[in-house]
Structure 1
Amino acid sequence: MMPTLQVGEVGGQVRYVDYIGNLTRIAVEIVNGDDPSELRREMFRQHRIAEPDTERLSAFLPGLRDAVEAASRSGPIGPVNALLAQHPPLIHVDDHDGEGSPHLHFAANGEDAVSWLGRSCSAALAHVVCGDPAVTIGRCSAIGCERFYVDDSRNRTRRFCSNACASRTTVAAYRARRKETG
């Protein structure tokens, strides 16, 4: 289940780790080439961001992909640092909710989409590559699948991007065992 922005609010305040987790989910979604999720649409709406221009997003994608891959392996740090250098975060406290719930932001509301994504995702991925225990990225273990996922399982042992990949792998292993025993 994809968390909404309300998940993790405590007393009307957004918890910082949920902000980092949501930005990480958006980075993974973009790298995987998924259609915009409800989370992404809501984050863009709340921060007054328009969907990115396809050409600019395509130019941004290789650096983001390298940083997501590095974060999924807990390093090397070079790709994340390259993304941070190209899109330095503008850390500030924001109260865009207007409900007395100030929280940190990595980019200005209303910024162009690629700049906002670059600043926000680079900062979130920096937290992940540095070992933030609340947010981890994995790469699907299914043969032929190259997708990433945010592992929010209780003990961070998820291995597949979806139930389909897990089932396909389980069935293939079962058939291989049956073939061996003949």
Structure 2
Amino acid sequence: MARLAVEIANGDEPGEERGEMLRQHGVAEPDAGALAVLVPALRAAVEAAVQGGPLEPVNVLLERYPPVIRVDGHDGPGTAHLHFAPNGEDPVTWLGRNCAAALAHVVCGDPAVTLGRCHAAGCGRFYVDDSRNRTRRFCSNACASRTTVAAYRARRKAAG
């Protein structure tokens, strides 16, 4: 869910993973106009999660989209897991509830999820750091390469 929150906060087009998740839970893809209501609060909450606080943006998201916690085993026997919104709910509300719960877990120190913000000049996109040692600094290989090349050129220029 944190990955989904980051995707929406970045303004990315819906990916295959998001589409599959929505289908599995009987939720339609929200139209851009409806989703626009969620984006500012979600973006502020993701930013807060990346920085490790303040907590207020996450709490605002939780107040607007309070999770409805229940246990579900829709994947078959032995696959019980938590759901934070009812299946088939309004898409924006469903996304809001799930993303709010995921970001609450992140700001409370969930060790399984680390969020970051790209260090490339002019980028600023958010990402989920799933690297082995949680030291990722860029949202993509393109940003990492662009930064490396810029640093190399700057060193060569300074050397004369």
TM-score tier, shorter chain, comes to over 0.9
CA distance, structure 2, for counterparts of residue 100 and residue 162 of structure 1: 36
Aligned to 1:139: 117
Partner of residue 79 from structure 1, selected from 50, 57, 66: 57
Aligned to 1:8: none
Aligned to 2:9: 31
1:87-106, aligned counterparts within 5 Å? 87-106=65-84
- 1:49-81: per-residue Cα shift (whole Å, max 9, x none)? 100122121011000000000001111100000
Residue 100 of structure 1 and its aligned partner are, at CA, apart by 4.2
Aligned to 1:175: 153
1:112-131, aligned counterparts within 5 Å? 112-131=90-109
CA distance, structure 1, for counterparts of residue 91 and residue 123 of structure 2: 28
CA distance, structure 2, for counterparts of residue 136 and residue 91 of structure 1: 23
CA distance, structure 1, for counterparts of residue 4 and residue 110 of structure 2: 17
Which aligned segments of 4 or more residues in structure 1 are displaced greater than 3 angstroms? none
Structure 2 length as normaliser, TM-score?
Answer: 0.97
Aligned to 1:157: 135
Instruction: Structure 2 unaligned segments of length 5 or more: list them.
Output: none
- 1:126-158: per-residue Cα shift (whole Å, max 9, x none)? 000111111011000000002000000011100
Aligned amino acid, residue 58 of structure 1: A
Percent pairwise identity: 71
Structure 1 length as normaliser, TM-score?
Answer: 0.86
